[in-house]
């Protein structure tokens, strides 16, 4: 059910993910989906919750980085890029934006989104313990915003080459903020 909803959103956006399309795609009646999720928004909230769990697991993998501070920084940037460049990122972003416009759902989404931001910030702080916290936080915000922007560009206009060069620029900017030598 979640995969069918995600595929429908990927193909036609949140508005294009109609009840009829989702039920046809997963081969189940709407009653079965309602039993599990309540309504269409509940189904979308379940997709967001699944994304939060995936994000948390990915953060756990990022925490286990080792090597020099430059190696850990590169690992953080590359790991976050793998998250936001994933095919489902646009789907989740669309759901979050759509549901956040509804006050009832926004109240449920905002705390989880804030939790994700804190989790990412904490991963950066743990990965770069010898650096001043304000600088680590600044580098994390720059990297996060930049990579999300690249992912959004990729989702809206399609992949272009070379995103690797853009990521290298982001890494260099983060190294400058943190006062790290280039490799």
pLDDT of 135 over the 90 cut: yes
Please report whether residue 49 resides in a domain.
yes
Residue 170's pLDDT band (cuts 50, 70, 90): very high
Closest listed residue to residue 179, CA positions, set 142, 136, 127: 136
Tell me how many domains the chain contains: 1
Assigned token pair, 113: 């989104």
pLDDT at residue 161, rounded to an integer: 63
Q: Is 17 inside any structural domain?
A: no
Q: Say how far apart CA 109 and CA 168 lie, in whole Å.
A: 32
DSSP alpha helix (H) spans, the chain = 2-16, 19-26, 30-37, 40-63, 69-84, 89-100, 103-127, 133-157, 163-178
Structural domain boundaries enclosing 103: 40-178
**Average pLDDT over all residues of the chain:** 85
How far is residue 96's CA from residue 156's CA, in Å, rounded to a whole number? 16
Instruction: Assess if residue 2 is contained within a domain.
Output: no
4 within a domain of the structure (yes/no): no
Q: Is the pTM of this model over 0.85?
A: no
For 139-154, what is each residue's pLDDT tens digit?
A: 999 999 999 888 888 7
pLDDT computed for residue 56 by the predictor: 80
Q: Pick from 48, 50, 44, 56: which is nearest to 19 by CA?
A: 44
Instruction: List, for residues 3-57, the tens digit of each pLDDT value.
Output: 898 888 888 888 888 889 999 999 999 999 999 999 888 888 888 888 888 878 8
CA distance 34 to 49: 17
**Residue 157 burial (10 A CB sphere; 0-12, 13-18, 19+):** exposed
Would residue 29 count as lying in a domain?
A: no
Is residue 1, in this structure, part of any structural domain at all?
Answer: no
Q: What CATH number is given to the structural domain containing 73?
A: 1.10.357
């Amino acid at each position: 059910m979640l995969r069918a909803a995600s595929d429908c959103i990927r193909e036609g956006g949140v508005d294009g993910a109609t009840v009829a399309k989702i039920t046809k795609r997963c081969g189940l009646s709407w009653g079965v989906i309602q039993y599990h999720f309540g309504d269409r928004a509940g189904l979308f909230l379940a997709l967001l919750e699944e994304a939060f769990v995936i994000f948390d697991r990915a953060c756990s993998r990022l925490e286990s980085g080792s090597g020099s501070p430059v190696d850990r920084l590169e690992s953080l940037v590359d790991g976050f890029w793998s998250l936001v460049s994933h095919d489902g990122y646009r789907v989740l972003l669309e759901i979050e934006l759509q549901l956040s416009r509804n006050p009832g759902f926004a109240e449920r989404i905002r705390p989880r989104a804030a939790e994700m931001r804190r989790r990412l910030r904490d991963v950066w702080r743990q990965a770069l313990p010898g650096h001043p916290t304000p600088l680590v936080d600044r580098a994390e915000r720059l990297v996060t915003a930049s990579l999300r922007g690249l992912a959004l560009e990729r989702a809206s206009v399609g992949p272009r080459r070379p995103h690797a060069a853009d990521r290298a620029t982001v890494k260099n900017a983060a190294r400058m903020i943190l006062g790290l030598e280039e490799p």
